[in-house]
Amino acid sequence: MNNIKLDMEKAFSFVSRDEVFAWKETMEKNNVALHEKTGKGNDFLGWVNLPTAITEEHLSDVEETAARLRSKKLDIFVVIGIGGSYLGAKAVVDALSDSFAHLKGSDAPHILFAGQNIGEDYLYELRELLKGKEYAMAVISKSGTTTEPALAFRLLRQDIEEKYGVEEARQRIVAITDESKGALRTLANTEGYKTYVIPDDVGGRYSVLTPVGLVPIAVAGFDVRALVQGARDMEKASDVNVPFEENLAAQYAAARNSLYKSGKKIEILVNFTPKLHYFSEWWKQLYGESEGKEGKGIYPASVDFTSDLHSMGQYIQEGERILFETVISIANPDNEVRIPEDKDNLDKLNYLAGKRVDEVNKMAELGTALAHMDGGVPNIRVEVPKIDEYNIGQLIYFFEIACGMSGYALEVNPFDQPGVEAYKKNMFALLEKPGFEEETKKIKSRL
């Protein structure tokens, strides 16, 4: 079953339906290359069949770990990781959580993140907070050597061992990393932490349905089975035997490539609910790292509407005409709020009395799409019935498989990220990391 609807009508006045559908053969071929592992980066395609490959035992194991940790009556579960080892869990947990859960208190621990930045104040304040809280943590790094999470884990590991003692700390740390390589694997084996493996053939940005995402999402109290089921159903709906005319992910990949070729260099992922803010951050890494290389690629940006209509709205309406929008539209919010009558009507809102707030939001969405279209910004709409585990699982796989097909259409390897190394090399040289002596000399001569 496919719950997602794709509406490209408001893009078709910029690139015709025929132009988009002319990608049929290419996208079908690209989909086969992903499934048969014959294209570029084919050693990183473990995510393609991941949803259907996830076993019952694996899901039970993740749920047992989550239950064991939660039995410690945690206030906070800290997830240490960066990029793909952070954004998937953050996206799903934020989408599914009550916006004010941290102030309302609940049975589930609050999920906080570390190692996703090198902000000294952030780390200081987090450590101060944790002193007075019950907590446990997951440390997530595929390579096991990324500086940001390694640094955060070095600090937080010392703290947790000091607070609970080494033995109990071991019971409160889960390590999610490579099966055999990397410093984190070595440490986890030595310490006897509960560990999960990030498969070799699944890159960070495609790893949300591995334990990288599933463990934090389960600890937060969400239904990982429904999430995986949503992804499984989208895996089926995007399979190679599904023709382009019915394969929405292939159509989305085609539309964005048509728009790119027509000069629309920036894709803005738009939401109309703040719950999806981090879903856009996850999507940005997925598309940015996959496509932005060899001097090519659509630049993935994002906005939260209607908030950002009052900041970025001006540029989108009238700035440089290199933009298109992809709107994730949620058909039904979880809750109902009706606008009350007001006897004085000073705000002149009585014409809305009795209507749901979502009706106003939906008209803002439609009005924005029409205005932006009139202003030269094509609009693709991805409609999802509601935000829940199942539908988020569908969306995740939809964007992943579309990204693979789209990256191949750009003729890049969508599964590497060589450009990320440049900053690391300079940072290590500047920090005088052993082994970087030559680079240190060179970089210092530039300062």
Ligand X SMILES: O=P(O)(O)OC[C@H]1O[C@](O)(CO)[C@@H](O)[C@@H]1O
Q: Which residues of the chain form contacts with ligand X (CB under 6 A)?
A: 82-85, 141-143, 146, 149, 204-205, 289, 417, 420
Residue 337 CB, shortest distance to ligand X, in Å, is 38
Q: CB nearest ligand X: which residue?
A: 204
Residue 422 CB, shortest distance to ligand X, in Å, is 11
Choice between 143 and 350, CB closer to ligand X: 143
Active site residue 25: no
DSSP string, 131-148: HTS-EEEEEEESSS--HH
Which segments within 134-251 are labelled E, that is strand? 135-141, 173-177, 194-197
> Does a cis peptide bond (omega within 30 degrees of 0) precede residue 306?
yes
For 431, counting Cβ atoms within 10 Å of its Cβ (0-12 exposed, 13-18 middle, 19+ buried), the class is exposed
DSSP string, 393-446: HHHHHHHHHHHHHHHHHTTS-TT--GGGHHHHHHHHHHTT-TT-HHHHHHHHHT
Choice between 83 and 414, CB closer to ligand X: 83
Residue 186 CB, shortest distance to ligand X, in Å, is 15
Tokens for 274?
């703040």
Q: Which residue has the tokens 């009238």?
A: 318
Identify whether the C-beta of residue 211 lies closer than 8 Å to the C-beta of residue 176: yes
Residue 158 CB, shortest distance to ligand X, in Å, is 20
CA atoms within 13 A on the CB side of 51: 26
Residue 215 CB, shortest distance to ligand X, in Å, is 14
Choice between 70 and 185, CB closer to ligand X: 185
Q: Which residue has the tokens 């570390």?
A: 114
Question: Which one of the listed residues 267, 281, 289, 291 is annotated catalytic?
Answer: 289
Active site residue 433: no
Residue 307 CB, shortest distance to ligand X, in Å, is 27
Choice between 324 and 415, CB closer to ligand X: 415
Radius of gyration of the chain (CA): 23
Choice between 180 and 311, CB closer to ligand X: 180
CB atoms inside a 10 Å sphere around CB 157: 18
The C-alpha atoms of residue 333 and residue 385 are separated, in whole angstroms, by 9
Q: Helix, strand or coil for residue 123?
A: helix
Question: Which one of the listed residues 5, 131, 386, 424 is annotated catalytic?
Answer: 424
Choice between 320 and 421, CB closer to ligand X: 421
Residues involved in catalysis: 289, 424
